[in-house]
Structure 1
Amino acid sequence: MSVTDTPESAAQHDSETALGSVPALRSPTKVVSFVERVLVELRHEALAARYVTDLGQEGEKTIWCRVEHTELDIDAEYVQIRDDPRVGVAVEPCSRATVRKRLCQCLDHDRTGRIDVRPLAGVSMGDD
């Protein structure tokens, strides 16, 4: 599922993350600081935060982005799009506070998962 209908491909953006990956040492303070930086980036640019986990959920990916940068007709500030090969794609409207909470939870509970921030036009749920 592509989030937007643009000719750009995710392959063009694989090395163009706006922020580096999560801090190696995942102290609560560093996690919160990283998540706040992600939220600032999402607010000002057409970017998506993409979370990929390797914890027994093969291929599951979640992205968060501002609704205004999508073609989705949802009455919310942000949207969470989850792609789980077992159940398909689910789209959920959410607030900035919810995005912050969920990103922190992901990073607190999954030491193998990663988050990257990339141009929204280049995000496809089928990417690695």
Structure 2
Amino acid sequence: MRVMVIVKATADSEAGLMPAPDLVAAMGRFNEDLAAAGLLLAGEGVQPSSKGVRIAFDGPARSLAQGPFFPSEDLLAGFWLWQVKDLDEAVAWARRCPNPMPGPSVIEIRPLYEEADFA
């Protein structure tokens, strides 16, 4: 199964504060472990919502909103795509992850729909 592992944003990540070098190194080692285990399909950090836009849909109408967006804890700071055997394996790997933020942080794991889900 494929899962999206979402690193939730914090006030610091939304302010554009970059992680300390030791955290960057720890996350690099974690990513290397994921790759060596054959789980890592993709992974990236995203820039603060102040650099983004949202397009809202209501029937045929479209409206555009410039960031920043609030509350920050509802936003995305980064993600991985992992190929795992089940949700338990994803949880086990996520527990091994260094804290992705300098303070309190949250990682959310969401299974992706597969073609078989639509059959």
TM-score by length of 1: 0.29
Structure with more relative contact order (C-alpha pairs < 8 Å, separation 6 or more) = 2
Q: Which is strand-richer, 1 or 2?
A: 2
Structure ID, larger Rg: 2
Give the TM-score taking structure 2 as reference length: 0.31
